[in-house]
Structure 1
């Protein structure tokens, strides 16, 4: 890890002392600075003051539930959040992603898996911020004209496709559940199905691939939804 990366601070929010210490040990060994909170109430204020680079947030916390903490954080911050939960039901995982978490890990977990997820998330965020000589992965959005371009070429998108693409590219690397994407597609509030979302994504991929090449900017996350992995301008 580089000197710059070693200065990153990860906030661990976990009420189980053994788990918190284990996570901190692995984070320290990988060059990260850490801070530990064992309750939900003080998280928001600490984040406002200290602005960590990433948060490992337990779901079941004393004082304030992890979901409520995540919702409040998302009202003012885009800090990456990885939720840690012992509740493995799909509805809990999707709920965590819908209210703004970037990823989730289920207990019991391997500390090495946690580090792999942390490092992968930082790589994704870094790649979305670094300019490239080849602009084939760059999406430009003009909301007023509902115009999207890739590699400098205009995409012939429907209003629904433009809204879908806009939702995804606002937070590169974040996983969006299908149900959340549905809420952003239609202004008249019509009811649509998961297959409708999949169909729109398929059309978007086809239109983007005309100018963008082989790499896939909109990636599927099995059992959950989609995320955008490209660069954005405008």
Structure 2
């Protein structure tokens, strides 16, 4: 039985989610505001978090940042707004998916099941190793000379994309489209910022990421 944390301040919404989640055999705990949600998350073990963006005390985005500081648990964002900015921000901060109010409870259940199915799919042994760096695609872990380093979801996806194209130049536009999962019309410097952060975390291996000026990046020892 998967355990779900729902951080939602609307009582009516909590009641609806409780009915459908329990009907689908989920073990559910509810928090009525952000602070309570953070405390509950820190003191319990969950399989997925449903997180409302608009809360009375702390924004859902800040809670998501706090969660991502220590955990890769799947997070499904609940928002009353559907603007492109919210989607970009949510995915950039590490959200796995989102639903926009008003939504069908059945849609929420379907999205939760899909997210948990992806999270639990660890049958393959998909590992990329090069120059003392090991990327485990399934567990989303990266080690440098045997020592695990902590990457954000987007940093991991970006490094994995470059590794899968070893020796080939990947344009910044392609990085945005593939890593962010949709056509991105924002600032290309988003990629540059993530590359800078990646290099810092790779430490002595930072030079493995090569800049091809005016074009993009590639991984290689040359």
Query: Residue 18 of structure 2 contacts residue 28 of structure 2 at CA under 8 Å; is this kept in 1?
Result: yes
TM-score by length of 1: 0.62
With over 3 angstroms needed to count, the CA separation of the structure-2 counterparts of 1:156 and 1:121, relative to structure 1, is closer
Greater RCO (CA < 8 Å, at least 6 residues apart): 1
With over 3 angstroms needed to count, the CA separation of the structure-2 counterparts of 1:83 and 1:140, relative to structure 1, is same
With over 3 angstroms needed to count, the CA separation of the structure-2 counterparts of 1:181 and 1:111, relative to structure 1, is farther
TM-score by length of 2: 0.65
With over 3 angstroms needed to count, the CA separation of the structure-2 counterparts of 1:143 and 1:48, relative to structure 1, is farther
- Alpha-carbon deviations, 1:133-166, whole Å to 9, x = none? xxxxx4312253468899xxx96612765xxxxx
Structure 1 match to 2:49 = 55
With over 3 angstroms needed to count, the CA separation of the structure-2 counterparts of 1:148 and 1:49, relative to structure 1, is closer
- Alpha-carbon deviations, 1:85-109, whole Å to 9, x = none? 0111010111011111110001110
Query: Residue 82 of structure 1 contacts residue 103 of structure 1 at CA under 8 Å; is this kept in 2?
Result: yes
Residues in 2 aligned to 1:46 and 1:79: alpha-carbon distance in whole angstroms = 14
Query: Residue 12 of structure 1 contacts residue 36 of structure 1 at CA under 8 Å; is this kept in 2?
Result: yes
Q: Shift in Å at residue 184 of structure 1?
A: 3.1
Query: Residue 57 of structure 1 contacts residue 82 of structure 1 at CA under 8 Å; is this kept in 2?
Result: yes
Query: Residue 98 of structure 1 contacts residue 176 of structure 1 at CA under 8 Å; is this kept in 2?
Result: no
Residues in 1 aligned to 2:101 and 2:9: alpha-carbon distance in whole angstroms = 13
| Aligned pair partner of 1:158 in 160, 167, 172 | 167
With over 3 angstroms needed to count, the CA separation of the structure-2 counterparts of 1:101 and 1:189, relative to structure 1, is farther
| Aligned pair partner of 2:127 in 137, 140, 144 | 140
Shift >6 Å, 4+ stretches: 147-150, 188-193
Structure 1 match to 2:106 = 112
Query: Residue 80 of structure 2 contacts residue 101 of structure 2 at CA under 8 Å; is this kept in 1?
Result: yes
Secondary structure at 2:110 match in 1: helix
Structure 1 match to 2:194 = 184
